[in-house]
Amino acid sequence: MSPKQNQPSNAFIAASWTALIIGISAFLIGLWNAEMELNEKGYYFTVLIFGLFSAISVQKVVRDQIEGIPVTNLYYGLAWFCTLLSILLLTVGLWNATLEKSEKGFYAMSFVLSMFSAIAVQKNTRDMRGKNGQEEKTP
């Protein structure tokens, strides 16, 4: 496959960034307006950030392996474990929360949207940096 075929379209890049901004914003606005204790808000915020970081790590290690870049089994396993753990933590938190079902669904969907779009943004960034055989552009 040539580098040109790996290039994401401008529309896909825009859609990925838009989805990421909408997902994170919706989650954070929901937290800001929620009537819950500050420590509970902090829990959900931390789970969101943890989930975003771990999802990006999974995308990176999977892509590294496909491209033949060495990845330790430990990091590969940790990336997957942390991604699944963030989903589990959100699920347990929402299951036990005293929120309406619609609110629980709102948080779950904005979390999933944020994680998926973070993976897409990371993929696009890597594809754009990798074009023409360059691993990274310098300013």
In a domain, 43, yes or no: yes
In a domain, 62, yes or no: yes
In a domain, 24, yes or no: yes
For residues 83 and 55, is the Cβ–Cβ distance under 8 A? Answer: yes
For residues 47 and 83, is the Cβ–Cβ distance under 8 A? Answer: no
Q: Is the overall model pTM greater than 0.85, yes or no?
A: no
pLDDT reading at 35 higher than 60? yes
In angstroms, the CA 23 to CA 15 distance is: 12
In a domain, 22, yes or no: yes
In a domain, 15, yes or no: yes
In angstroms, the CA 61 to CA 25 distance is: 27
Domain of residue 26, residue span = 10-131
In a domain, 136, yes or no: no
* Confidence category of residue 58, pLDDT binned at 50, 70, 90: very high
Query: Which position has the higher pLDDT, 74 or 130?
Result: 74
Query: Which position has the higher pLDDT, 137 or 64?
Result: 64
Q: How many domains is the chain built from?
A: 1
In a domain, 3, yes or no: no
pLDDT reading at 2 higher than 80? no
In a domain, 5, yes or no: no
